[in-house]
């Protein structure tokens, strides 16, 4: 009987695959470089290799697999298996990705945008289980977002949405990767958080961050800032609180638009725990409509690095 699903998380650096049970248990995985800059054929080959390794490590055969679901950066025509555009891969404009995978594996293949699929993973197997309307924000290199409504990924009319990371919360704010100013992403992405902490440290204030990065503030990471904050370091605490404010503004807007029962926050800085979440919640309580805020839980993501493959598997299960 075909009772397993394979989730594939295709990134600019690596491609990971997991063999997953119906109820979201990972039986085995495979991870190889995605060769993003070597063209479509090389990446498809690597993707298939990661699937093969995952099957081997799980001790399963492709004949036991009901479907494959892929998490892929960029915008898609996901029903047709086409990547319209992806920033991470060389010349991926209007590329048919699902076709060759389907042909090679002989099973149904579906796909979605990486942020949307991660959100679907949290909805199916993580922090968003049992929700009717779930919003997820992932704080990483950028700020990704996904919205699940009544068990379905909300993509917008041509799969550009939802881009909560590019909603503007400070019209005179810093320039964003999208070219506009004051987007959530410009204020809460990894580098923005690090820059803020580094600028405070440059002013000569006492901080453990300088030792943590061996005197080179360019080597700071959100994880270091979270750790320093948990020890009460003043600069780190300020940085986390400010990040919480910006994320909280994004959450406030999401609450007013979607009236969700849960907002899930993922990414490295989410490990900062209560300090970050208290700041997010205070900002949301003040800035969102209270009737909507009062029914919404704001919680950390649970799946970590597995959100992509588990989301892919969940998508394959939903489409089977």
Instruction: Indicate the residue among 163 and 234 with the shorter CB distance to Zn ion.
Output: 163
Closest to Zn ion by CB, 169 vs 197, is 169
| Binding letters toward Zn ion, positions 294-313, x by CB under 5 A | --------------------
Which residue stretches of the chain are H helix?
40-58, 98-105, 114-125, 184-188, 190-202, 209-212, 222-230, 234-258, 274-287, 290-293, 307-319
Span from 31-39, 67-75, 146-154, 183-191 in contact with Zn ion (CB under 5 A): 183-191
Q: Which residue has the tokens 């881009």?
A: 163
Q: Is 36 helix (H, G, I), strand (E, B) or coil?
A: helix
Pairing of the two strands 133-139 and 262-266: parallel
C-beta of 28 vs 161, nearer to Zn ion: 161
Closest distance to Zn ion from the beta carbon of 204 (Å): 32
**What is the nearest approach in angstroms of Zn ion to the Cβ of residue 134?**
23
Q: Could you give the string, one character per residue 21-40, with x where binding to Zn ion holds by CB under 5 A and - elsewhere? A: --------------------
- Binding segment toward Zn ion, per CB under 5 A, in 28-36, 72-80, 177-185, 312-320: 177-185
Residues linked to residue 297 through DSSP beta bridges, in sequence order: 262
DSSP letter for 142, please.
S
Please choose, out of 184-192, 234-242, 263-271, 285-293, the segment that lies near Zn ion by the rule CB under 5 A.
Answer: 184-192
* CB of 178 or CB of 289, closer to Zn ion: 178
- Shorter beta-carbon distance to Zn ion: residue 159 or 297: 159
Give 28's strand partners.
19
CA 229 to each of CA 220, 233, 240, 269, 282: distance values in angstroms, whole numbers, following the listed order: 13, 5, 7, 11, 18
Distance of CA 81 to the CA centre of its chain: 20
Q: Chain centroid to CA 279: how far?
A: 21
Q: Which two tokens stand for residue 269?
A: 């800085």
Considering only 65, 101, 147, 176, the residue that binds Zn ion (CB under 5 A) is 176
- Residue 268 CA to residue 139 CA, distance in Å, equals 7
Judge contact between 259 and 225, C-beta under 8 A.
Answer: no
- Note whether 187 binds Zn ion by CB under 5 A: no
Choice between 178 and 295, CB closer to Zn ion: 178
Three-state secondary structure call for residue 107: coil
Minimum gap (Å) between residue 142 Cβ and Zn ion: 9
Q: What is the DSSP letter of 182?
A: S
What single DSSP character describes residue 89?
S
Q: Cα separation of 96 and 107, whole Å?
A: 16
- Candidates 109-117, 123-131, 181-189, 293-301; binding stretch for Zn ion (CB under 5 A): 181-189
- Of 89, 170, 183, 90, nearest to 142 by C-alpha is 183
Which of 37, 132, 174, 178 forms a contact with Zn ion (CB under 5 A)?
178
Determine, following the binding rule CB under 5 A, whether residue 289 of this chain makes contact with Zn ion.
Answer: no
- Segment interacting with Zn ion, rule: CB under 5 A, options 4-12, 139-147, 158-166, 274-282: 158-166
Interface with Zn ion, residue 183, by CB under 5 A: yes
Applying CB under 5 A, the span of 19-27, 103-111, 166-174, 285-293 interacting with Zn ion comes to: 166-174
Q: Kindly state the smallest distance separating residue 154's Cβ from Zn ion, in Å.
A: 19
Of residues 88 and 282, the one with the C-beta less far from Zn ion: 88
Q: How far apart (Å, rounded) are the C-alpha atoms in residues 127 and 129? A: 6
Comparison of 183 and 276: residue with beta carbon closer to Zn ion: 183
- What does the binding site for Zn ion look like in residue numbers (CB under 5 A)? 166, 176, 178, 183, 185
């Amino acid at each position: 009987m075909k009772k397993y699903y394979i989730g594939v998380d295709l990134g600019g650096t690596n491609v990971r695959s997991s063999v997953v049970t119906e109820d979201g248990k990972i039986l085995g995985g495979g991870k190889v470089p995605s060769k993003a800059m070597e063209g479509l054929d090389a990446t498809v080959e690597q993707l298939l290799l990661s699937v093969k390794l995952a099957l081997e490590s799980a001790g399963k055969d492709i004949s036991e697999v009901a479907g494959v679901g892929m998490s892929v950066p960029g915008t898609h025509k996901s029903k047709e298996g086409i990547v319209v555009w992806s920033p991470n891969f060389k010349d991926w404009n209007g590329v048919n990705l699902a076709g060759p995978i389907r042909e090679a594996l002989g099973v149904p293949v579906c796909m979605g945008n990486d942020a949307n699929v991660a959100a679907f993973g949290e909805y199916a197997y993580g922090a968003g289980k049992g929700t009717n309307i779930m919003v997820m924000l992932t704080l990483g290199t950028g700020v990704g977002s996904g919205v699940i409504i009544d068990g379905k990924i909300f993509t917008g009319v041509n799969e550009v949405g939802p881009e909560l990371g590019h909603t503007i919360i400070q019209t005179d704010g810093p320039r964003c990767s999208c070219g506009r100013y004051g987007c959530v992403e410009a204020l809460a992405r990894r580098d923005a958080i690090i820059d803020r902490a580094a600028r405070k440290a440059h002013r000569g204030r006492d901080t453990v961050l300088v030792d943590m990065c061996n005197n080179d503030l360019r080597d700071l990471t959100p994880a270091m800032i979270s750790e320093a904050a948990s020890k009460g370091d003043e600069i780190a605490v300020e940085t986390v609180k400010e990040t919480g404010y910006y994320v909280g503004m994004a959450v406030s807007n999401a609450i007013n638009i979607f009236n969700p029962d849960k907002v899930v926050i993922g990414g490295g800085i989410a490990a900062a725990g209560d300090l970050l979440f208290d700041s997010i919640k205070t900002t949301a309580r003040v800035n969102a409509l209270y009737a909507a805020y009062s029914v919404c839980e704001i919680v950390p993501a649970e799946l970590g690095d597995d959100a992509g493959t588990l989301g892919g598997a969940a998508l394959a299960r939903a489409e089977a």
